[in-house]
A and B are shown apart, each in its own frame.
Chain A
Amino acid sequence: KAGVTQTPRYLIKTRGQQVTLSCSPISGHRSVSWYQQTPGQGLQFLFEYFSETQRNKGNFPGRFSGRQFSNSRSEMNVSTLELGDSALYLCASSLEGDRAHIQYFGAGTRLSVL
C-alpha cells in the first residue's frame, strides 16, 4: 500500500506570493492533518480535515487555509507569503475508529520563501 504522498517536494517562492501544497493520504484513510516544521518553533499543528470538513485548527493566521476533497486528498494554501513561512510542511493521515490516533506522515514539502 502506498504511503502518504506530498507534492511538490520542494518549492521556492517570493514574499507576497501564494502557494498550494498537495497531500494524498494512504488509501482508506479519511483524516488528514497538516503540520509546520521550522528550526525555531519545531513541529506545530496547522489543521485537520475529515470527510471534507475542517475538524480542528491550530494557532496560525488566516493566511493558512486548507481543504479536503471527496477522495480524501487534501491541499493547503498559504497566501501573501512571508519569510517566516519558510518551513517543511508535513501531512499525516489516519484511519477511523480505535486506530484513528495513529498518524502516518509523508516526506513533506520544503517551502523556501525569498
Chain B
Amino acid sequence: GEDVEQSLFLSVREGDSSVINCTYTDSSSTYLYWYKQEPGAGLQLLTYIFSNMDMKQDQRLTVLLNKKDKHLSLRIADTQTGDSAIYFCAESEAISGGYNKLIFGAGTRLAVHP
C-alpha cells in the first residue's frame, strides 16, 4: 500500500530558508499536499501539487517534486517564528469516488530560533 515518510525534526534560524523533505510510494497519478499543524489546532492546507508537475510556488512556499525518486520537498523562504509547527506531507489515494483518502507522513517538527 501507499506509504509516506518524512524526517521528524528540523531546526532553523529565523530568516533562513527551511527545507522539509518527504518520500512517497504511490506509483499512480496522485495529488501531494503539505499541511501545517500548530499546537492544539487542526490541519491547515498550505499547498498541493499534482504528480505530473515539477514545481509549484506560492509566496514564501516552493514545492519541488522529483517524480523519478518520488521525493517531495517544501521550501519556506525567510522562515519566521510563526512558522514553528508540525508539517505533514500527504498523498491522495485514488479510491472510489475520487481522491478523498489522504495518507499522511509522521510529520516534521520545525523549530525556528532567533
Which residues of A pack against B, CB within 8 Å? 4, 6, 31, 33, 35, 42-45, 48, 50, 55-56, 58, 90, 92, 94, 100-108
Bound: A56/B88 CA distance, A: 22
Q: Chain B residues with Cβ under 8 A from A90's Cβ?
A: 42-43
Which residues of B pack against A, CB within 8 Å? 31, 35, 40-45, 48, 88, 90, 92, 95-107
Q: Chain A residues with Cβ under 8 A from B92's Cβ?
A: 101
Chain B contact surface mostly: strand
B96 x A55 contact (CB < 8 A) = yes
- Kindly identify which residue among B35, B96, B106, B107 contacts A56, using a CB–CB cutoff of 8 Å: B96
Q: How many Å from the CB of A49 to the closest CB on chain B?
A: 10
- Kindly identify which residue among B35, B42, B100, B106 contacts A106, using a CB–CB cutoff of 8 Å: B42
B98 x A105 contact (CB < 8 A) = no
Q: How many Å from the CB of B91 to the closest CB on chain A?
A: 10
Assuming the A-B contacts A42-B107, A43-B88, are A105 and B43 also in contact, with contact meaning beta carbons closer than 8 angstroms in the complex?
yes
Q: How many Å from the CB of B69 to the closest CB on chain A?
A: 23
- Kindly identify which residue among B41, B42, B43, B99 contacts A101, using a CB–CB cutoff of 8 Å: B99
Looking across the interface, which residue of chain A has its beta carbon closest to that of B35? A105
Q: Chain A residues with Cβ under 8 A from B106's Cβ?
A: 42
A101 x B45 contact (CB < 8 A) = no
5 tightest Cβ-Cβ pairs between the two chains A and B: A101-B99, A43-B104, A105-B43, A105-B42, A107-B42
A103 x B45 contact (CB < 8 A) = yes
B45 x A104 contact (CB < 8 A) = yes
B104 x A42 contact (CB < 8 A) = yes
Q: Chain B residues with Cβ under 8 A from A44's Cβ?
A: 104
Assuming the A-B contacts A101-B31, A102-B48, are A58 and B104 also in contact, with contact meaning beta carbons closer than 8 angstroms in the complex?
no
